């Protein structure tokens, strides 16, 4: 952090948050506190169910468990500081800002890679069912998870290091968290290399993951069309519907923020969109993956409602 102190005259940033209207702050605080509580409860519930119920010890649920853990961390990195901003505690130390940026970038990268791993799992399950147990064994799943987490943390480390080598002209960040585009918008020095690095690494991870997802679903769609019965097609597609919903939510909002020609475009509309993939999506994921999922619902009844039956 020494380079930061040498280049920047202030020791903390000021996060403007979502709105300057003081009368809305208590209402927003309550809303986001409820969302955060539901996020923690829902994702912890999914993790506990997968851990306790042997019927959920499958590759698909292994990755869903990783996703729930990721969402827990993602929300805990962003929402507590947002709640503090609503309570007029808008200052954030540069060291804490860099830590938040590192974790936020790492977790966002991990989510992209995890979604591609989940798409590959669905591809093998539907297109190569006889080889599924051999290809997606526990060892492969564990190595795949370790690899994607390592790549994500390396990306977060590189992005954070290059971002905080810049000199910042303003301590005011028009956002509710330390994210790369709004930080680049208050830099004094040229951000060309940072933008190039951002678009290269984020593009490689996010676009690469999206391409893998698209290719997987092209093969999946082809396999589904070969199923003779309509009921069989619906049943097979239903195993992918939740994943497709999550991919649409995450990529749609993330690309809107990151895939832009200049970080100077990071304004209030980006802040609003950021709420979707940093706060709302982690809350929706447990609902998306448990809604109409008979295995998850059965595991819930067996684990928590056993005495009622």
d(CA 135, CA 184): 43
Token pair in block for residue 172? 């005011």
pLDDT of 77-96, one tens digit each?
Answer: 999 999 999 998 899 999 99
pLDDT at 261: 47
Largest CA distance in the chain: 69
pLDDT of 254-265, one tens digit each?
Answer: 666 655 544 444
Of 241 and 8, the structure prediction assigns the larger pLDDT to 241
Q: 116 and 209 in contact (C-beta within 8 Å)?
A: yes
pLDDT at 266: 45
Ranges assigned E (strand) in 109-253? 172-173
Element at 81 (helix H, strand E): helix 59-86
Mean pLDDT of the chain: 86
d(CA 101, CA 199): 16
Tell me phi and psi for residue 57, to 5 degrees.
-85, 70
Mean pLDDT of 234-240: 81
Of 22 and 109, the structure prediction assigns the larger pLDDT to 109
**pLDDT over 90 at 68, yes or no:** yes
Q: 117 and 211 in contact (C-beta within 8 Å)?
A: no
Beta strands 91-93 and 12-15, pairing class: antiparallel
Cβ contacts of 199 within 8 Å, gap of 6 or more? 258, 259
How many domains does the chain contain in total? 1
Q: Cα(first)–Cα(last) distance of the chain, in Å?
A: 58
Question: What CATH number is attached to the domain comprising 22?
Answer: 1.20.1070.10
pLDDT of 179-199, one tens digit each?
Answer: 888 899 899 888 888 888 888
Q: Which of 308, 303, 306, 307 is nearest to 45 (CA)?
A: 303
Considering the chain, what percentage of its residues have pLDDT values greater than 70? 90
Cβ contacts of 168 within 8 Å, gap of 6 or more? 7, 8, 10, 13, 183, 186, 187, 188
Rounded to two decimals, the pTM is 0.88
Q: Which domain holds residue 15?
A: 2-308
d(CA 85, CA 26): 11
Tokens 């609503």, residue? 86
pLDDT at 256: 66
């Amino acid at each position: 952090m020494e380079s930061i102190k040498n280049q920047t005259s202030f020791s903390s940033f000021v996060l403007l948050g979502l709105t300057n209207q003081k009368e809305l702050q208590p209402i927003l605080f309550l809303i986001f506190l409820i969302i955060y509580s539901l996020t923690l409860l829902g994702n912890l519930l999914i993790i506990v169910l997968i851990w306790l119920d042997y019927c959920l010890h499958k590759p698909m649920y292994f990755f869903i468990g990783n996703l729930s853990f990721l969402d827990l961390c993602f929300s805990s990195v962003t929402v507590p500081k947002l709640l503090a901003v609503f309570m007029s505690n808008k200052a954030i130390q540069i060291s804490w800002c860099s830590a938040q940026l590192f974790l936020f970038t790492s977790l966002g990268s991990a989510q992209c890679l995890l979604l591609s791993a989940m798409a590959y799992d669905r591809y093998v399950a539907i297109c190569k069912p006889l080889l599924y147990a051999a290809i997606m064994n526990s060892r492969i799943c564990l190595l795949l998870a370790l690899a994607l987490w390592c790549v994500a943390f390396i990306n977060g480390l590189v992005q954070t290091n290059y971002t905080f080598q810049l000199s910042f002209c303003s301590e005011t960040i028009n956002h509710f968290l330390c994210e790369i585009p709004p930080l680049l918008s208050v830099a004094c020095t040229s951000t060309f290399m940072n933008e190039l690095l951002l678009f290269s690494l984020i593009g490689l991870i996010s676009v690469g993951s999206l391409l893998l997802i698209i290719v997987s679903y092209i093969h999946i769609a082809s396999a589904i069309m070969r199923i003779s019965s309509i009921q069989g097609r619906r049943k097979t597609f239903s195993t992918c519907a939740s994943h497709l919903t999550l991919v649409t939510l995450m990529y749609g909002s993330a690309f809107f923020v990151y895939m832009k020609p200049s970080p100077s475009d990071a304004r209030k509309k980006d802040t609003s969109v950021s709420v979707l993939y940093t706060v709302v999506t982690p809350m929706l994921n447990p609902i998306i993956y448990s809604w109409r999922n008979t295995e998850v619902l059965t595991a819930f009844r067996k684990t928590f409602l056993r005495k009622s039956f």
